[in-house]
Each structure stands twice: as C-alpha cells, then as structure tokens.
Structure 1
C-alpha cells in the first residue's frame, strides 16, 4: 500500500492550479455528502443508530485514512461521521427529498469539479487511478491543514513531488 505522501503527491500532480483546488474545497464535500445520503437507504435503526451501506463505506474509508495517518484519519472519520449522520436523517424523509438531496448534491459537486479541471487543463486523477476517488477527500483536508500552517513536512513532501500551485492560463 502507498504511503500518505505517495497518495497525496500523485493526486496533487493533477491539482496544481489554485482555482482547481478551490473548486475541490466545494465539490468534493458535496460529493461525499451526496454519496452518504444515497447510500443511507436501505437502512435500519437499532440501539439508536442508523445502519446502512453508508455506514459500511464510511467505516472502510475511515480505516484506510487511519492506516495512512492517525491525525488526518481521525479528522476524516469525524467528517465522514457527520456525512453519515446527515445521510441517515435524510434517508428517513420522503423518497423525493432523499433522492433530491442525494442526486442534486452529487450533480452539483461534479459540475464544480469539472469546472476546476477545465482551469487545470487536466483530467481528474481517478481517471488514471480509481483510488483518486478515496484520496480526493483526504487531499481537501490536507490542503486545508496546509492553509492553516499545519503538516509542514507533509506539505513540503507533496510540493517536492507534485510541484508548486499556480494559476494556469486556460
């Protein structure tokens, strides 16, 4: 299995334009939330918790993130927990509300992503490596940490491999 640095550097190579990175700060959370919403049916309540495919996927993703890095993995687990919680609440609404929110957020999220990749001038990372779908949310959290001045060694490693961010001419 690749290291955290390897995953982030490979993903970052497709995301060096700042406008694309900004689009990912919006698009990826919308997509992750949408997937949690859609996968929250079928489900059942037991002991005050909603059990669904969304919970299974979130647990598997959390294990992947925790295996790569404890601190970022804990943060990702908390964020995924919020998405699953929201998905569970919407799964118990009418089918129109559940699907409306799930599919609507999914489409809007991907439109935003593709606008970002237009600025980048490159295809999305997952086209070449399906793991990009799992690494994308972690990339957004890591980029947020970098903006806050955290994880400096990780940031240096990613930039050394992928290059600096810039604004490219479309």
Structure 2
C-alpha cells in the first residue's frame, strides 16, 4: 500500500502549474462539497427508520459514505483523516442549511458542474491528464493534497 507522501508525489506530477494549482485549491473542495450535498439529497427514510436519531445532519447517505471515506484516510494518515473529518462536518452542516433555502440537489449539481469545468480547464493549462484517469483513488487523494498544500507549514 502506498503511503500518503507517495500518493502526493504522484499526484503532484500533473499539478505543477501555479494556475492549475490555484484552480484545484478552489475546485477540489467544491467538488467534495457538492458530492456531500448530492448524497444528502438522496431520500434517507431507511436510515431514519434504522437509526431513530432525528438528526438530519448525520442521518443521511452522505454521513454513511463519509464514514467509509474517513476509513480510507485513516489508513493513510490519522492527522489527515482528522482534517478531512473537520471539512466533512462543515460540508454536512453548510449543505444542511443551504437545503433549507434552495433545492440542495439542484444547487449541488450546479457547483459540481462548474467545479469540474474548472478542473478540466486547469488540466488543459497544465497540459496533463487528471490523475484519477490513471487511478480512481486519486479522487480521494485530491482533497488531502489540497489540505496538505493549503494548511501545512512547509
């Protein structure tokens, strides 16, 4: 199994251009955020009946999927898993409140589409294909790479 640093080294190969990096710093979290919103939009009657928590922020499909996402990160780095967990909680809370004012699924699709257009534009500038075309796991490495680059003391 690759270490987190090995994943970052491989991911960084197609993320050298400063404009592409800047685009990724915005679009990768936006994509993560929009996927959380889309998952929260899936009817969760089964979960409500199973859990009986009456907590819509955590009683939804996004929270279930995020548990498995965090397991992926814990295997690589506990400290990174904590960072992603904090961001995930923010995504759950903010999406919950957005959903009180607009259809969350529609808002999330819009953010998702715009962010992916930005990503592909950034890779066009870079002149290299997105890493996830080589290995789908890079879709989870991207958020960690952004967190590492934006919040590390390097």
Pairwise TM-score range, normalised by the shorter structure: 0.7 to 0.9
Superposed CA deviations along residues 129-159 of structure 1, whole A, max 9, x for unmatched, are: 111111110110011134xxx2x4xxxxxxx
Corresponding residue of 2:43: 42
Superposed CA deviations along residues 5-63 of structure 1, whole A, max 9, x for unmatched, are: 11111111111111111100111111111100010122255434222221112111112
Alignment partner of 2:78 out of 62, 70, 73? 70
Corresponding residue of 1:130: 136
Structure 1: which 5+ residue stretches go unaligned?
Answer: 153-170
Corresponding residue of 1:21: 21
Corresponding residue of 2:105: 99
Alignment partner of 1:82 out of 90, 96, 111? 90
Would you say how many aligned residue pairs link Structure 1 and Structure 2?
146
In the alignment, the residues of structure 2 paired with residue 54 and residue 60 of structure 1 have an alpha-carbon distance, to the nearest angstrom, of: 10
The alignment's TM-score, normalised by the length of structure 2, stands at 0.86
Deviation larger for 32-41 or 66-75 = 66-75
Structure 2: which 5+ residue stretches go unaligned?
Answer: none
Superposed CA deviations along residues 82-116 of structure 1, whole A, max 9, x for unmatched, are: 1122333445666xx22221100001110111111
Deviation larger for 31-40 or 63-72 = 63-72
Could you say what secondary structure the match of 2:81 adopts?
Answer: helix
In the alignment, the residues of structure 1 paired with residue 16 and residue 107 of structure 2 have an alpha-carbon distance, to the nearest angstrom, of: 31
Could you say what secondary structure the match of 2:85 adopts?
Answer: helix
Distance 1:131 1:124, change over 3 A: same
The alignment's TM-score, normalised by the length of structure 1, stands at 0.78
Cα-Cα RMSD:
1.8
Q: Is the 8 A contact 1:31 1:106 kept in 2?
A: yes
Could you say what secondary structure the match of 2:36 adopts?
Answer: helix
